Amino acid sequence: MNILILEDDDDKYSRVECVVRESGNALQRVWRAENIAQARGLLAEHKFSVLILDVRVPYRTDEPPDDGAGVALLKEIMIDAAGQPPTHVVGLTGHADVHSVHSEVFRRHGWVLLEYSATSPEWANSLASYLSHATAVANESDDGDAFDVAIITALPSPEFSELRRVFPELQGPTKLDAKTLVWHGTVTQTNGKSIRVVAVHSWQMGLTAAALLAERVLGRYKPKVLAMTGICAGRRDKVQLGDVVIATQSWEWQGGKLTEDDGNQHLMAAPEPCRASGALLAAARALKGRPGCEASISQLPPVAPQNLGWTLREGPMLSGLSVVAAKDVMVEVAKQHRGYLALEMEAYAIYAAATFSARPCEAVVIKGVCDFGEVDKDDSMQLVAAERSAKVLRALLNEFLT
């Protein structure tokens, strides 16, 4: 939620900002303008959920405060449609005469003009209540808090911990809701462009949790890109340990109809695939087509010793309800798609959430191969696989969000 404070007095600004910071929305971004000219510029560039303005401010730097400057700005943006109108407006003034002159203007437009006092908490309590309401509205509908990228992992460790190492800009945690923590930050691309990224790990593994979380993240942060990184079980005859798979499509491989023949149960599979973003796959192919792609990605920080080479691959990644540690299962699933590369437990939910989202969203799932889904598998490759998947995502975002 973007908040603009128009205030020329440093002490007053500090008090107002303190109320804003304590209002409960840790994901808000607070901007300051010290005069009308600065405010005009910011309102032209950004959409603000809340504008908190001192009515008596200067028009320009080095000019004295004007009793009607704040109201003049409001008339420009709300009546003359100059700049992007804020969703909510709260006025402040420490002068009783200014309050009496302009309070009717605020009431007429459904805004509020608070009488500021350095010795009374009344204005601060009113402002806090107003911000609480604005936050609740923003949680439902405000695009001012939209992010460029939302990243989900299933596991806090090693998947999310490695994601944060590759994206050190992520700060947190803050609360998405009472049960979900999120991390967020501004990531600078190689071309200098900045993108806003929010990241979260699921409460537990599996399709149901991933689908619920993805829907919640899509509704709250409205990302252009929804991504998942992590680890998967690879198909032994198609991939190597440490390879990274970009899922072109996914479905629930255990879905269908169970039948019985001579006392033996058989699954008649009924795949209903959901697919990755075509634009992201095109960007992935461009990335993969560059000489030394994998070596270049491996050099993204943090740089770790490379004990074995790896390959960036793309193909079907199927989702199930259980962790697989049985060679026969890995072989049996090949009957559903002879070219499938990996099994895991969440990709289908991510793609389904993006496919059926009310807002357009590009989705991609990228996971590193940490085992072959066999009974003797171990955890020794999980850290490497999780880290590489996060690095591939970072490189892909550089390719896609230019």
Residue 214's pLDDT is 96
Checking if the pLDDT of 178 tops 80, the result is no
pLDDT in tens, 324-354: 877 888 888 999 899 999 999 999 999 999 9
Determine the average pLDDT of the residues in 203-227.
Answer: 94
What amino acid is encoded at 239 in this protein?
V
Provide the strand spans (E) within 180-263.
Answer: 180-188, 194-201, 225-234, 244-247, 249-250, 256-261
**CATH code of domain 149-401:** 3.40.50.1580
Domains 2-141 and 149-401 agree in fold = yes
The model's pLDDT over 240-279, given as tens digits with 9 standing for 90+, comes to: 999 999 999 999 988 878 788 877 777 787 888 999 999 9
- Residue 320: name the closest of 333, 338, 337 by CA: 333
pLDDT at 60 over 70: yes
Q: Enumerate the β-bridge partners of residue 57.
A: 66
Confidence of residue 142 (pLDDT cuts 50, 70, 90): very low
Name the more confident of 31 and 146: 31
pLDDT reading at 82 higher than 80: no
CB contact at 8 A, 357 and 220: no
Peptide linkage before 223 cis (omega within 30 of 0): no
Residue 94, pLDDT above cutoff 90: no
Token representation of residue 23: 């209002």
Per-residue confidence (pLDDT) for residue 139, from 0 to 100:
58
How far is it, in rounded angstroms, from Cα 188 to Cα 191? 8
With 70 as the cut, is the pLDDT of residue 47 above it?
A: yes
Q: Which residue has the higher pLDDT, 191 or 188?
A: 188
Under the banding of pLDDT at 50, 70 and 90, the label for residue 96 is: confident
Q: What beta strand segments (E) does 7-110 contain?
A: 29-33, 50-54, 88-93
Assess whether pLDDT exceeds 80 at residue 119.
yes
Cα 65 off chain centre by: 40
The whole-number pLDDT of residue 111 equals: 81
Give the global pTM: 0.66
Model confidence over 308-319: pLDDT tens digits? Answer: 789 999 999 999
The CATH number of the structural domain formed by 2-141 is: 3.40.50.2300
The pLDDT score that the predictor gives to residue 80 is 64
| Predicted local distance difference test score (pLDDT) of residue 112 | 84
- Give the pLDDT of residue 222: 93
Angle at 379 between CA 377 and CA 382, to 5 degrees: 120
Q: State residue 303's pLDDT score.
A: 80
Percentage of residues of the chain with pLDDT beyond 90:
57
Sorting pLDDT into bands at 50, 70 and 90, what band is 25?
low
What is the pLDDT at residue 10? 94
For the chain, the structural domain boundaries read 2-141, 149-401
Query: Are 147 and 197 a contacting pair, CB within 8 Å?
Result: yes
* Side-chain-facing half-sphere of 373: CA atoms under 13 Å: 28
Mean pLDDT of the chain: 89
